[in-house]
Amino acid sequence: MKQKTQVHAEDGKQDLVITRHFDLPLELLFKAYEEAEFIEQWMGTKVLKLESRKHGSYSFETSNPKGDVAFTATGVIHEFISNQKIIRTFEMENMQFGVQLEVYEFEALTAGTSKLSMHVIYESVEQRDQVLKLPFTQGINMAHNRIQKIFSTIS
């Protein structure tokens, strides 16, 4: 069976592509990236600022399992086309991972399914490899069951 999430990273290159098929209509998938309320829920992060528009910017704060701030991620939005495309930068402040350029492409497959393609370009090959080898940098919050808590209050 084909995996729903795929990662394509070639040796010696400073970028990678992540693709995912969702059992969600395109509009709902896009909403998950557009609105702070949903970003907080699925990313388990606190959204301090999010201007979902061309030349807007954002700031997310992620806590460690104890509840202290682990890192703040910020970036600017270069392009924002509803249900189609987001181009933004992403940087974790006070970390050694540099800044990355992210190109998100949203696509409807059927009425109820959609596809996300995420092209991430790093400052250098070394930086990309460092991030690849530290997958937990973005998963630090997994220890939380915050998502499930919010999830159960919604339904």
Partner 1 sequence: MNLRRDVFQAIADPTRRAILLLVASQSLTAGAIASNFDTARPTISKHLQILTECELLHQEQSGREVHYHINAKKMKEVADFIEPFRQMWDERFNKLEAVMKAYKPKK
Of the listed pieces 42-50, 53-61, 76-84, 100-108, which binds partner 1 according to CB under 8 A? 42-50
Among 93, 91, 88, 86, CA closest to 76:
88
Q: Does 111 bind partner 1 (CB under 8 A)?
A: no
Strand partners, 116: 20, 106
Beta bridge partners of 19: 6, 117
* Residue 149 contacts partner 1 per CB under 8 A: no
Q: Which is nearer to partner 1, 77 or 120 (CB)?
A: 120
112 is a contact residue toward partner 1 (CB under 8 A) = no
Strands of the chain (E only): list them: 5-8, 15-22, 46-50, 57-63, 69-81, 85-92, 99-108, 114-121
Binding part of the chain for partner 1, among 51-59, 78-86, 102-110, 125-133 by CB under 8 A, reads 125-133
| Segment interacting with partner 1 (CB under 8 A) among 46-54, 65-73, 78-86, 101-109 | 65-73
Q: What 8-state DSSP symbol labels residue 67?
A: S
> Residue 80 CB, nearest distance to partner 1 (Å)?
18
**Pick 87 or 97: Cβ nearer partner 1:** 97
Structure tokens, 88: 């933004």
